[in-house]
Chains A and B, each alone.
Chain A
Amino acid sequence: MSQSLPFGISCKGGLNTNLNQFEMLSNPGLATQLENFEVDSDGGYRRINGFEPFGSTDATRPNSTNAILGLFVYADGLIVTSGTNIYFTLDGITYLQINRASVSASGDNYSTFTGRSVAARTSQSQCNFSFYEGDSQYGELLITDESSASKPFYFKMTGTGALSNRTYYAKEVTVSGTVYPVTGVIHNKHYVVSGDSNNPNTIYYSGTNDIDDFTSTGSGSIKLDDKVIGLKSFRDDLIIFCKNSIYKLININDSSTVAIVPVTKNVGCLDNHSIQEIAGDLVFLSPDGVRTIAGTARIGDVELGTVSRQIMSITETIANSIDSFVVSSVVLRQKSQYRLFYTVSSDIPSQAKGIIGSLTSQGFQWSETKGIQATAITSGFNSNGVEKTFHGDDDGYIYVHDSGNTFYHEGSSASMRATYETPNYDFGDFGTRKNINYLKISITPEGTAQPVLRVRYNYNDPDHPQPNDYTLLSVPLPATFGESLFGTGVFGASNDPMVRQAVQGGGHTTSFRLRTEDSNPPYAINGMYIDYTPANRR
C-alpha cells in the first residue's frame, strides 16, 4: 500500500451547512465554510471585493454618527436617509437635505428649496423607496419608513449640472388621515402602500397615474386577513407578503374585478427588506429560509420554492432572531447575486454577517459574509445607465459596495478575512488511513495572493496529530500584454497557476482550509489536486 493516489476536486456547489459529512462526500466541491467568498458563476470560489468610502478620501457622513437608514440610487446621485432627515448627494462629500416643507407644487429653485423649513421625519427608521419612472427627467421617488410615524415623502428633481441649477419638488403624501404606511411600491400606474401601525392589514392604492393622490379616480383600499410585511410588483400582479401568508392583488386597474387572491397561507415573509427580484423571480426570507416566487408557464400562476436548503442552519439563525436584526438586501445584476445582510445595531461592524446567493446553472449557491455591516443597501442604474451599488452602516458612513480590496469599520480600513473550508474527504475509503503528500491548488489571482492552508485530519480530532498552518508561496499576478503596468505583474506567470504545497500527516479523513486576512486583491480558488498514500486500516 505504498503507491500514492490522486484526488481532484473542482470548487463548485457553494456553502453547505446542511448535509452531514458523509453526504457531502458525493459533492467534494462543496464548502463547509465559505466566508467572504462568492460562488463564481463561471466556476470556483472568488474572494469578494471589499468596499470603499463613497467620496474616497474626502468622504463625509451625511448626518454625523446617525445610522444610515436607507439608500437609493436616484438621478445622477444617491438619496440617503439618516436620523430624521433625507439627503441627496452627487459625490459622497456634500449632502443636500431634501426633507423640506412647504415646497412649491411647481418646484423650488435651489436657494428657495434650501431656505425652506425642515420636515423632520419623526422617529425615522429603515426606509423603503418606491420609484416611479413617469415622464419626468429623473422620475419620482416616494419614501416610507418602518416607524409608521410619518406620511410617505415625495421627492422629484429636474435639471442637470450643479445642484444649484436644479429644481426640486418635495412634499408629504396623505394616504388617509393619519395613515402612516411603512412600505410601498409602484404597481401598474398606482402607488400602493401598507403597514400602517393602526391598519396593518390594509393596503391602499393611489389613483391611476396619480401616485401622490389616494382620493382620485382609480384609488382604493382593501383589507386582508394577515398583517402586511412587504409589497412587490411582479409581472401583472402585486405580490403582498404578509406575516404568515402571501397574496396577490390582481386587476388593480379594473374596479369591478380588482381582487385579492391567496398564493399561500402556509408561508410568510420575515422582513420587507429581504424581498428582491432576481432573474425574473421574487426572492424573500421566510421562516424556513430564502424562498422564491417564480412565474410559471400558466398565465397568472406562480410557484413557491425554497432555494436556501444548503444553508438552513444560517437562515434558521436569522429567522430565530429576526426582530433583533437590521436586515437589508440587494441584487447585484452583473453577478446574478442576491445579497442579504443582517446585523444587530449594537454589534461592532466586524461582527456583522450576511449571505450571498449566486444564481448559477445549478440554481442558487451560497456563501457568507462577515464584516460588512449594511443597515441599508441599494443597487441601481443612475441616469447614465451605470449600475451603482452602495451601502451604509450603523455609524453613518456610506460606502461603494463591492469595490476595492478591504473593509472599512467605523470609517477605518480593515483587512478582510476570507475562509474556504472543504468537507472532510475520505478519498473513497473511510477505513483506510491516508497520508497526504502534497496539494496543488488552482488559483486565479487578480493581484498578489498568498493564502494560508490548514489541514485537519479525522474531523479535527484533538487526539490526532494536526499539522501547523502552511503559508502558500505568493501567487503572482500574471502580466498581460497591453494591460499590465511595469512592476505589477510577473512575466511568464500562468493565468491560473497551480500552487504546490507539501503537507504532513494523515488520517482517515482530511479537510483543507484556505484563508487570507489581508488587503490584497481578490483571487479565485478553482480546485485542488491532492496526492495521498493509503497507509493502513488501523
Chain B
Amino acid sequence: MATTFLQLCNEILREVNEVELTSATFDSSVGVQTHVKDIVNRAYSDIVNEEPQWPFLSVAESGATDPMYGNVYVETVAGTRWYEMKPASSSITTDYGYIDWDNFYLTTVGVSGESAPYESRNLRHTTIEEWKDYFRVAENLDDADSQQYGVPSRVVRSPDARNFGLSPIPDKVYRVWFFAFNQPTKLNLYTDELVFPDVYVPVLISKARYYIHQFNDNAQSAAFSLEDYKRNLKNMKLHLMEPDPGYFKDDRIRFI
C-alpha cells in the first residue's frame, strides 16, 4: 500500500515535534497541522513541476489498445480541423497536464466501418507559425470552395493549449492517438495515497521539511532539506525518466 496523506503529514509533524494527526482529527486539523497538509501538497506540486512527464501521471497505461502507442485518442470529423484534446474538460484547469507533441499518430484502425487496408501514419508536429505561413491559406480556401480535404499529416498545437489542429483538414473519420499526462490531484483525504512508489517518498518529505523549517525560521535546516530534495529528485528523475540506454539518434543520413 502506498503512503497515505496522513502518514506523510505525521512524518513532517514528528520531524518538528508537533502534535500528530489521526484519522479522527485529520479533517478538523488546525494551525501548524493544516500548514503541514498544505506544504505536503506544495512539495508534491514542486515534484510534478520539475518533470511533467512523470510516468505516474500518465492518463492511461500505454499500449492498452494494442498495437497503438499512446494512451488517448480522439476521432476526427470530416471537414473539422480543430479538436479538444480532452473533450470532457471545460477549462484549462481540468485539461491534461502535459501532451507529448512528438507522439501523435493517425489511423483508421478501430474506426467504425473501416477495414483493411487501413490508413496509418505519424503526425509531424508543426509549429503554429509554420502552419499559418505555408498551409493555412490554401486549406481554408479549399474548405470554403471545393472541400476536397485530405489525410492529415501534421498536427498543430493551438495557442490556447486546449486543442490540436490537423493539416490538411481530415477528409473522413480517423483516430488520432497521442500520449497525455494528467494534472496532479491534490491530496485531500487522510486515506489519499501517493501516486508514486514509496521509495521516492523521501523526495517529497525533504521538500516538505524545507518548507516547515522555513516556517520555523530555521534557515540552516531548511537549506539542508533543500539539498536533500535536490539530490533525491535527481535520482528520482534518473530512475523514472531516463532508464533507457543512452543512444544518440542522427537521421541526417536520410537526406543525403
A residues neighboring B (CB under 8 Å): 1-2, 433, 435-437, 462-467, 504-506, 533, 535-538
Q: Report the bound CA distance from A436 to B17 in whole Å.
A: 8
A530 to chain B, nearest CB (A): 13
Nearest residue in B to A2 (C-beta to C-beta)?
Answer: B218
Contact A465 B33 (CB under 8 A): yes
Contact B216 A535 (CB under 8 A): yes
Contact A464 B216 (CB under 8 A): no
- Write out the residue numbers on chain A whose beta carbons fall within 8 Å of the beta carbon of B216: 1-2, 433, 435, 535-536
**Which single member of B18, B29, B221 contacts A504 (CB below 8 Å)?**
B18
Contact A465 B17 (CB under 8 A): no
**Which single member of A1, A433, A437, A537 contacts B17 (CB below 8 Å)?**
A437
Q: Report the bound CA distance from A467 to B215 in whole Å.
A: 20
Contact B32 A465 (CB under 8 A): yes
Q: Report the bound CA distance from A437 to B16 in whole Å.
A: 10
Contact B217 A435 (CB under 8 A): no
Q: Identify 10 residue pairs between A and B in the complex whose beta-carbon atoms are under 8 Å apart, listed by A's number.
A: A433-B216, A435-B16, A435-B17, A437-B17, A465-B19, A465-B30, A504-B17, A504-B20, A506-B32, A537-B217
Given A464-B30, A464-B31, A465-B31, A536 and B20 contact (CB-CB distance below 8 Å): no
Nearest residue in A to B216 (C-beta to C-beta)?
Answer: A535
Inter-chain pairs besides A465-B18, A533-B17, A535-B218, 17 sampled, C-beta below 8 Å? A1-B216, A1-B217, A2-B220, A2-B221, A433-B216, A436-B17, A437-B17, A462-B30, A465-B29, A465-B30, A466-B19, A467-B19, A504-B19, A505-B17, A505-B18, A535-B217, A536-B217
- Write out the residue numbers on chain B whose beta carbons fall within 8 Å of the beta carbon of A538: 215
B201 to chain A, nearest CB (A): 22
Q: Report the bound CA distance from A462 to B220 in whole Å.
A: 32
Contact A506 B18 (CB under 8 A): yes
A497 to chain B, nearest CB (A): 24
Nearest residue in A to B32 (C-beta to C-beta)?
Answer: A465
A199 to chain B, nearest CB (A): 66
- Write out the residue numbers on chain B whose beta carbons fall within 8 Å of the beta carbon of A533: 17
**Among the interface residues A436, A437, A467, A504, which one has the most CB atoms of the partner chain B within 10 A?**
A504
- Write out the residue numbers on chain A whose beta carbons fall within 8 Å of the beta carbon of B218: 1-2, 535
- Write out the residue numbers on chain A whose beta carbons fall within 8 Å of the beta carbon of B217: 1, 535-537
- Write out the residue numbers on chain A whose beta carbons fall within 8 Å of the beta carbon of B220: 2
B16 to chain A, nearest CB (A): 7
A461 to chain B, nearest CB (A): 8
Nearest residue in A to B214 (C-beta to C-beta)?
Answer: A536
- Write out the residue numbers on chain B whose beta carbons fall within 8 Å of the beta carbon of A437: 17
Interface size, B (range): 10 to 19
Q: Please report which residues of chain B, range 137-171, place their CB below 8 angstroms from some CB of chain A when the two chains form the complex.
A: none
- Write out the residue numbers on chain B whose beta carbons fall within 8 Å of the beta carbon of A465: 18-19, 29-33
Q: Report the bound CA distance from A149 to B215 in whole Å.
A: 75
Q: Report the bound CA distance from A389 to B33 in whole Å.
A: 53
A453 to chain B, nearest CB (A): 14
Q: Report the bound CA distance from A505 to B215 in whole Å.
A: 14
Contact B30 A463 (CB under 8 A): yes
**Among the interface residues B13, B30, B32, B221, which one has the most CB atoms of the partner chain A within 10 A?**
B32
Q: Report the bound CA distance from A538 to B29 in whole Å.
A: 18
- Write out the residue numbers on chain A whose beta carbons fall within 8 Å of the beta carbon of B29: 465
Q: Please report which residues of chain B, range 207-248, place their CB below 8 angstroms from some CB of chain A when the two chains form the complex.
A: 215-218, 220-221
Q: 6 closest Cβ contacts across the A-B interface?
A: A465-B19, A505-B19, A535-B216, A536-B217, A467-B19, A463-B30
Q: Report the bound CA distance from A465 to B32 in whole Å.
A: 7
B215 to chain A, nearest CB (A): 6
Q: Report the bound CA distance from A464 to B17 in whole Å.
A: 15
Q: Report the bound CA distance from A467 to B30 in whole Å.
A: 12
**Among the interface residues A465, A504, A505, A506, which one has the most CB atoms of the partner chain B within 10 A?**
A465
A127 to chain B, nearest CB (A): 55
Q: Report the bound CA distance from A465 to B19 in whole Å.
A: 6
Nearest residue in B to A534 (C-beta to C-beta)?
Answer: B217
- Write out the residue numbers on chain B whose beta carbons fall within 8 Å of the beta carbon of A462: 30
Q: Report the bound CA distance from A375 to B123 in whole Å.
A: 98
Nearest residue in B to A438 (C-beta to C-beta)?
Answer: B17
- Write out the residue numbers on chain A whose beta carbons fall within 8 Å of the beta carbon of B17: 435-437, 504-506, 533
Nearest residue in A to B220 (C-beta to C-beta)?
Answer: A2
A169 to chain B, nearest CB (A): 70
**Which single member of A1, A2, A435, A537 contacts B18 (CB below 8 Å)?**
A435
Q: Report the bound CA distance from A35 to B31 in whole Å.
A: 32
- Write out the residue numbers on chain B whose beta carbons fall within 8 Å of the beta carbon of A436: 17
B 11-32 binary contact with A (CB < 8 Å = 1; else 0): 0010011111000000001111
Q: Report the bound CA distance from A536 to B215 in whole Å.
A: 7
- Write out the residue numbers on chain B whose beta carbons fall within 8 Å of the beta carbon of A535: 16, 215-218
Nearest residue in B to A468 (C-beta to C-beta)?
Answer: B19
Q: Report the bound CA distance from A537 to B220 in whole Å.
A: 17
- Write out the residue numbers on chain B whose beta carbons fall within 8 Å of the beta carbon of A435: 16-18, 216
Q: Report the bound CA distance from A64 to B218 in whole Å.
A: 70
Q: Report the bound CA distance from A504 to B30 in whole Å.
A: 15
Nearest residue in B to A465 (C-beta to C-beta)?
Answer: B19
B194 to chain A, nearest CB (A): 23
B38 to chain A, nearest CB (A): 14
- Write out the residue numbers on chain B whose beta carbons fall within 8 Å of the beta carbon of A505: 17-19
A433 to chain B, nearest CB (A): 8
Contact A463 B19 (CB under 8 A): no
- Write out the residue numbers on chain A whose beta carbons fall within 8 Å of the beta carbon of B20: 504
- Write out the residue numbers on chain B whose beta carbons fall within 8 Å of the beta carbon of A466: 19
Q: Report the bound CA distance from A1 to B16 in whole Å.
A: 13
Q: Please report which residues of chain B, range 1-60, place their CB below 8 angstroms from some CB of chain A when the two chains form the complex.
A: 13, 16-20, 29-33
Q: Report the bound CA distance from A435 to B16 in whole Å.
A: 8
B27 to chain A, nearest CB (A): 14
Q: Report the bound CA distance from A391 to B153 in whole Å.
A: 103
Q: Report the bound CA distance from A537 to B16 in whole Å.
A: 16
Contact B18 A463 (CB under 8 A): no
Q: Report the bound CA distance from A2 to B225 in whole Å.
A: 14
Nearest residue in A to B217 (C-beta to C-beta)?
Answer: A536
Nearest residue in A to B36 (C-beta to C-beta)?
Answer: A465
Q: Report the bound CA distance from A464 to B31 in whole Å.
A: 5
Q: Report the bound CA distance from A463 to B31 in whole Å.
A: 7
